[in-house]
Chain A
Amino acid sequence: MISEHLPILQVVIPLLAAPLCIFLRGRAAWGLAALASGSALAISLALLGRVLSTGAISYALGDWAPPVGIEYRVDAVNAWVLVIVSTIGAVVGPYALLSVEREIEARRIPLFYAAWLLCLSGLLGMAVTGDVFNVFVFLEISSLSAYALIALGRDRRALTSAFRYLVMGSVGATFIVIGIGLLYSMTGSLNMADLSELLPGVWDTRTVRVAYGFLAVGFCLKLALFPLHLWLPNAYTFAPSAVTAFMASTATKVAVYMLLRFFLTVFGAAFSFDVMRLDLVLLPLALAAIVSMSLVAIFQENVKRLLAYSSVAQIGYMILGLSFASATGLTATLLHLFNHALMKGALFMALGCVMYRIGSVRIEAMAGLGRRMPITMAAFVAGGLSLVGVPLTVGFVSKWYLIVGALERGWWPVAALVLLTSAMALVYVWRVVEAAYFRQASAGARRSGEAPWSLLAPTWALVLLNLYFGIDAMRTAEVARVAAELLLAGTGR
């Protein structure tokens, strides 16, 4: 009986746990948050298993049949995204306990976990729903709680970066809701599957094209595609460590999913690629993001900011896969959603361990840390290798598919550029490694010991996932392939 309600429980469990956190104190609030994140992972894995064996699941909210009522619709694509978000939630949840106690005032901790769970349920909701207005509602839930989470950072600059994110994010959300409103005015429907059937009849109207433009700009703002990424580096740099690890691996990923869902399922691949030429719009932006942001990352002194710029470059890889307009390219995009979540999660969590011990993540402060915190820095190195794309890590798998996709289209300069930017990633990862292993320890690093195991265990869990799915990529690549074909085929209804 429970199993038929899984799509709604995916959202409702964190949503119910969030207000309960407000009535709890300190560690009890954390326990509830960790429990809710863990159960979200169990539900998403169950959903993915069912979707892969029996096809899409539809759940009608309030027993109102779609397309009139709100429909939650899970297929291989969003089940995959649900697994990504809830995996990171379930790993960062246990990690948060000590990291948050160190970085956030005690009286704000229950509020922190309430906002955390709201953010989680918002992200899961965006992924699970099959209703475009519902997407907007969950987008606002996740964004508003994200602004609050970022503003809780210890540095006072966290406030200004959260405010800047709020302004940019609200502009993005407004563009999205305008786009949705225009679609509704043309079709009278808000259901994704229904829209995908109604839209071909009105393709040739200016309203639909304007809606397409609004949605494109809105989603690109939310997913931080160059040059709309300006909110991201500061937000990631000054947010609490656990928040950075969580947001960097989930928020932009869900935005990429929304872009894919709207432009490939709702509008249809044919409209996006043949009429609107989305691929030609995204290709230069993706390449600019990859090259310029990798270059900027090389010159950063704060490692968190370095990784934030690298995130913008990595988002470029995802969009690059989409711009190939092929099944291989999309497989690369979907694989990289998961793989990038694993590697950036591991890297930001290793930085959180450093922050916990020495209170700074500047490169000069991390000098000599390789001897003082060997387990933490080993995790960082493993995550860094994955970011570069060394074989036996997940980064290699995504880059492989990306290069195969580029060669399929005959775009060998693009393939060469992917290789070149991997070398640039090596440069910025190496700067940290060089400081940590080959320089004299700074005063702070000399005093510090290894981070506590409750921080190291979740970090290493992600590192091991990086290696496991780098060696045995069959399962992830298969799911990504199924999802990519589903996206290109349309609704699958």
Chain B
Amino acid sequence: MREEIIVRVGAKILAPFIITFALYVHFHGDYSPGGGFQAGVILAAAFALLALVYGLDEVQRVLPPRFVRGCAALGVLIFAGAGVATMALGHGYLAYNAFAYDPAHPEGGQHYGILLVELGVLVTVFGVMVSVFYLFAGRGRREDPQ
């Protein structure tokens, strides 16, 4: 597909919109269908599309496998760390009220808390999805998939 100009330009145009849509799905996840998991999959799909059209090596120059694996770990840290942060603020584990900006309405913190943990989900799902894609796409190319 590397020689098909329409496919190449089409993928290049689509990719930023797919990434934006992933962020849209994430930031609306707390009060409409969507959330971190779906957003992570959509985000990974953007890079899978680019890899299909431009080749795996091009995409791995932007997203090295080590970085992707780091993302998978970082997301868990964000999620679990959000809970530790609420504990440090004197609340229970994952008690998002701790994030409230207005003490009169502690439930406002729930929005931020959900967005934060969903961000963790997004990063992990993105990392795992791209890693899985790399492993399958890279099969038979090299001895070492790392």
Contacts and interface: CB of A to CB of B under 8 A. Distances in A.
Interface of A: 1, 5, 8, 12, 15-16, 18-20, 22-23, 59-63, 107, 114
Most buried by A among B72, B91, B92, B146: B92
B92 A22 contact: no
B49 interface: no
Given A22-B69, A22-B70, A62 B76 contact: no
B76 A19 contact: yes
Most buried by B among A8, A18, A63: A63
B94 A16 contact: no
Contacts of A19: 72-74, 76-77, 80
Contacts, number: 51
B47 interface: no
B93 interface: yes
B116 to A, nearest CB: 13
Contact of A8 (B69, B83, B90, B97): B83
Nearest to A5: B87
A20 B72 CA distance: 11
Contacts of A18: 73, 76
Nearest to B69: A22
B146 A107 contact: yes
A23 B70 contact: yes
Contact of A12 (B83, B97, B146): B83
Nearest to A121: B80
B80 A114 contact: no
Given A15-B76, A61-B93, 9 more contacts: A8-B83, A8-B93, A12-B93, A16-B81, A19-B72, A19-B73, A19-B80, A23-B70, A61-B94
B80 A61 contact: no
Given A12-B80, A12-B83, A16-B81, A62 B73 contact: no
B84 interface: yes
A63 B91 contact: yes
Contacts of A60: 92
Contacts of A107: 146
Contacts of A61: 92-94
B43 interface: no
B126 interface: no
Interface of B: 69-70, 72-74, 76-77, 80-81, 83-84, 87, 90-97, 146
A62 B96 contact: yes
A59 B76 CA distance: 22
Nearest to A21: B73
29 contacts: A5-B92, A8-B83, A8-B87, A8-B92, A12-B80, A12-B93, A15-B76, A15-B80, A16-B77, A16-B81, A16-B84, A19-B72, A19-B74, A19-B80, A20-B77, A22-B69, A22-B72, A61-B92, A61-B93, A61-B94, A62-B92, A62-B94, A62-B95, A62-B96, A63-B91, A63-B92, A63-B95, A63-B97, A114-B73
A358 to B, nearest CB: 30
A18 B76 CA distance: 9
A59 B92 contact: yes
A62 B114 CA distance: 11
A15 B77 CA distance: 9
B40 to A, nearest CB: 16
Contacts of A1: 90
Contacts of A23: 70, 73
Contacts of B80: 12, 15-16, 19
A23 B72 CA distance: 11
A5 B146 contact: no
A140 to B, nearest CB: 14
A62 B96 CA distance: 7
A59 B72 CA distance: 29
Nearest to B86: A62
Contacts of A114: 73
Most buried by B among A1, A59, A62, A107: A62
A18 B75 CA distance: 12
B67 to A, nearest CB: 12
B70 A62 contact: no
A22 B73 contact: yes
A380 B73 CA distance: 39
A474 B93 CA distance: 36
A322 B94 CA distance: 37
Most buried by A among B77, B81, B91: B77
Contacts of A20: 73, 77
Contacts of B92: 5, 8, 59-63
A59 B97 CA distance: 17
Nearest to A8: B93
A60 B76 CA distance: 21
A1 B91 CA distance: 10
A114 B72 CA distance: 12
The 5 closest A-B pairs by CB, nearest first: A19-B73, A63-B95, A22-B73, A62-B94, A19-B76
A59 B92 CA distance: 9
A128 to B, nearest CB: 12
B56 to A, nearest CB: 21
B95 A12 contact: no
Nearest to B74: A19
B37 to A, nearest CB: 14
A62 B84 contact: no
Contacts of A62: 92-96
A238 B38 CA distance: 37
B70 A5 contact: no
Contacts of B84: 12, 16
